[in-house]
A and B are shown apart, each in its own frame.
Chain A
Amino acid sequence: MTLGIRQLPRTALIALGLLVVVWLAIKASQGGNTFLQVTLNGTTDAALYFIVAAGFTLIFGLMRVVNMAHGSLYLFGGYIAYVAQTHWYAGGTSQFQLGATSSTSIWGFLVPLVFATLVIGLVGLGIQQLLLRWNQGQDLRQALITIAVSVIIADQLIAHYGGIVESIQQPTSWPNSIVIGTFRYGFFRLVVVLGAALAVGVLLYLLIQHTRLGMIIRAGVDDRPMLSALGVNVQLVFAGAFFLGAMLAGFGGVLGGTMISVGPGLDSQFLLNSLIVVIIGGMGSLPGAAIGALLLGLVQSYSAIYLHFGATDLTPYGVLAQFILVIAVLAFRPLGLFGRPA
């Protein structure tokens, strides 16, 4: 193969990328509010993906464990919050009522949120302590174990909650939407989810870069045996990281259950989202997860709206845009944008 042929795919991808940017710029200049709406949809979806994928990448970064049960933990968290809200706070709507006819207090949202987050953290801790701890260093085997766990959790969720799509109610006192000039956008998406993602990002960054625990975690990523030899209880750090990572899946599940819905199939959807985010962002990298989530969210929302060319509607082929995103990143950086060799 000559150099020219070898460079051809890359050149094509760069050309495609430029084309997409130009095309989006045209769309942006044409319909201001629609474009803003679509961009915000992508950004807020990305915020949710980031919260979930941050847990996934944190667990991988420290322990080299690919937690294939992450999507199941996400959905499980959503169901726990939904059940807690309907059982403890009768304000939640049942499937027979259309719309929020009764009120939900702020506690009626926050208590299920915290409860579900903690329970999922404990479930993750249980998986790590009971099943993964004994197989440290065998990353493929650990992935298989978490796959088995995800199969069991997914089946049990179907057994207990069936195929009905539910959603968690946000507090009635919170506004439904906020107005910026002439533009109206969902309050929960824009303020709560985006705010939570920013908070998670900043807190994790501070934790990892500026605390003693973060120092230990970073050292553990680089050289685990040496860290252990220095007298750090690595097992405790691992348990803590897994607890935190699983908690983020549960936290995301509750936010997603309020923002979108809780229902079957979301576990594979969010496993896929987390995988794509870390594949393009780079496994184990927090900034990578942020960039990856943003790219994925924007590509999804633009391709869902803007793939109309005259009379031809290509929006069902929007999945191909995600394919191209993954291919494009891996063609340039096999380890993802922020990835580095283990």
Chain B
Amino acid sequence: MSATVTRGRAGLRTGMTWPVLIGWGVLVAVAVVLLLAPQIFSAYDLSQILTQALWLGIAAVSVTFLYRYGGMVSLAQVAIYGIAGFAMGNVVHTINSEGGLNLGWTPWAGVAFGIAVAVIVALLFGAIASRSYGIYFLMITLALSLLVFYFFGQVTKLSGFGGIRSISRPGFIGDPITDPKPLYYTALGASVLVYVLLRYVVRTPFGIALQGIRDDPPRMRSLGYNVPLHRTLAFALGAFVASIAGILSVWFNTQISPGSINLAQTIAVLIIAVIGGLSRLEGAWLGALAYALIDYYARQHTPTLGLWLNPGRFATIIGLVFLLIVLLSPDGLIGIGHRLRDLAGRRLGTPPTSDTAAAREEQALPETAGVSTASGPSSSGGQEP
């Protein structure tokens, strides 16, 4: 999608070439399909595939953002959205008071509270983890994430027995099961806002400094930047985005339980970000769409091979897909898209674009210290020749 945004913007400045026109065409088509989706797809498909992909995409884009611009692979995003969801679920009114504290707040007050709690906890997590890099950062965030899961598993006062159910939603969303449209448009709007916010932030002085820290922490330190503070704040921003996904997931599922933030879900969000492609923010939504589609079709069309493979073995299938992507195309679906676009560009007589080179470089995931070695366009918009 935004590959096309980039090309489009460059196109306005440098004149229309064929790939630019195709790019605009794809962008317009995607926008039209997304806006008209409730008319095109059945209510079930809309909810189970598109709404699900949109909120999972928001969760995954927080991973992508932290990796792409901060050089941090965080496995704590699911725990953070769980904290937001549980915080909201505890304070808002729950019908029949099923689990949680049920303080009877209005839904919007609950949203604000949930996001605030998640961001505050993330500042603490970030402060702990921000002095570690690469694989250490990944391990510490995974440990924190699992501790959050066990915390909610044990403290049934806050998580209810088997979760908090029937959490009330703002009035305009209604009941997503009878009418999924309002929640779909909410998730779509939230996705666009999150995307615009992150694209904006990476161009601010803070965003540029963050990318400098990703590439060379010692140099940035010697230039006078407070490296751990920048990483902590970036982590908190990622947590803000993840907590929006947490709120949407609670509205989508109408409940939250410790099982919604277990190790499998923690890994699922990482898988989504990697399948989509970590080199671009929009890869998160692409990965989430692929994930939701695999989920949807695997449950219906998986052939049965004894206990090894059958429609219930979704995790095995997604694990195999993830393994193949990591082994063969670490840049995910976005990387495959870049290659196809290059091929098309060559056919139509334009030279390969600069961000393809960047994408290729990024294929090798960073080696030591998890700092991206990619020298590609720092904020990839509008840098094409």
Q: Chain A: residues with CB nearer than 8 A to chain B?
A: 64, 66, 68, 131, 137-141, 143-145, 147-152, 154-156, 159-160, 267-268, 271-272, 275-276, 278-279, 283, 316-320, 322-323, 326-327, 330-331, 334-335, 342
The complex places the Cα of A150 from the Cα of B268 at a distance, in Å, of 12
Do the beta carbons of B139 and A275 come within 8 Å of each other?
Answer: yes
Q: What are the 3 A-B residue pairs with the smallest beta carbon separation, nearest first?
A: A151-B319, A155-B315, A148-B323
Enumerate 18 A-B pairs (CB-CB under 8 Å) in ascending A order.
A140-B73, A140-B135, A147-B270, A148-B326, A149-B323, A151-B318, A154-B264, A154-B315, A155-B314, A156-B313, A160-B307, A272-B143, A283-B136, A318-B154, A319-B150, A319-B154, A330-B140, A342-B368
Against A, the Cβ 8 Å flags (1 = close, 0 = not) of B316-329 are 10111011001100
| B246 CB, min distance to chain A CBs, angstroms | 20
Do the beta carbons of B140 and A156 come within 8 Å of each other?
Answer: no
| A258 CB, min distance to chain B CBs, angstroms | 23
Do the beta carbons of B323 and A145 come within 8 Å of each other?
Answer: yes
Residues of A near B135 (CB, < 8 A) are 64, 66, 139-140, 143
Residues of B near A137 (CB, < 8 A) are 367-368
The answer to the question of B290 belonging to the interface, with a C-beta cut-off of 8 Å to chain A, is no
Do the beta carbons of A155 and B139 come within 8 Å of each other?
Answer: no
Contacts A154-B315, A319-B151; is A66 near B139 (CB within 8 Å)? Answer: yes
Residues of A near B312 (CB, < 8 A) are 159
Do the beta carbons of B365 and A140 come within 8 Å of each other?
Answer: yes
Do the beta carbons of B326 and A141 come within 8 Å of each other?
Answer: yes
Interface members, chain B 123-153 (any A CB < 8 Å)? 128, 131-132, 134-136, 138-140, 142-144, 146-147, 149-151
Do the beta carbons of B139 and A279 come within 8 Å of each other?
Answer: yes
Within 8 Å by CB of B365, from A138, A316, A331, lies A138
The answer to the question of B90 belonging to the interface, with a C-beta cut-off of 8 Å to chain A, is no
Contacts A138-B365, A272-B146, A334-B132; is A151 near B154 (CB within 8 Å)? Answer: no
Contacts A139-B135, A140-B365, A331-B128; is A271 near B263 (CB within 8 Å)? Answer: yes
Do the beta carbons of A279 and B368 come within 8 Å of each other?
Answer: no
Do the beta carbons of A143 and B138 come within 8 Å of each other?
Answer: yes
Interface members, chain B 270-314 (any A CB < 8 Å)? 270-271, 274, 307-308, 310, 312-314
Residues of A near B157 (CB, < 8 A) are 316
Do the beta carbons of A326 and B144 come within 8 Å of each other?
Answer: yes
The complex places the Cα of A283 from the Cα of B136 at a distance, in Å, of 9
Do the beta carbons of A144 and B313 come within 8 Å of each other?
Answer: no
Nearest residue, chain B, Cβ from A66: B135
Residues of A near B326 (CB, < 8 A) are 141, 144-145, 148
| A126 CB, min distance to chain B CBs, angstroms | 13
The complex places the Cα of A326 from the Cα of B142 at a distance, in Å, of 12
Do the beta carbons of B151 and A275 come within 8 Å of each other?
Answer: no
| A314 CB, min distance to chain B CBs, angstroms | 10
The complex places the Cα of A11 from the Cα of B149 at a distance, in Å, of 29
Nearest residue, chain A, Cβ from B228: A334
Other than the given A140-B366, A159-B313, A316-B154, 10 more pairs (CB < 8 A) read A140-B135, A145-B327, A147-B270, A147-B271, A155-B319, A275-B139, A316-B156, A319-B155, A326-B140, A326-B144
| A156 CB, min distance to chain B CBs, angstroms | 6
| A89 CB, min distance to chain B CBs, angstroms | 24
Do the beta carbons of A330 and B323 come within 8 Å of each other?
Answer: no
Do the beta carbons of A327 and B128 come within 8 Å of each other?
Answer: yes
Residues of B near A275 (CB, < 8 A) are 139, 142-143, 146
The answer to the question of B57 belonging to the interface, with a C-beta cut-off of 8 Å to chain A, is no
Within 8 Å by CB of B327, from A131, A152, A322, lies A131
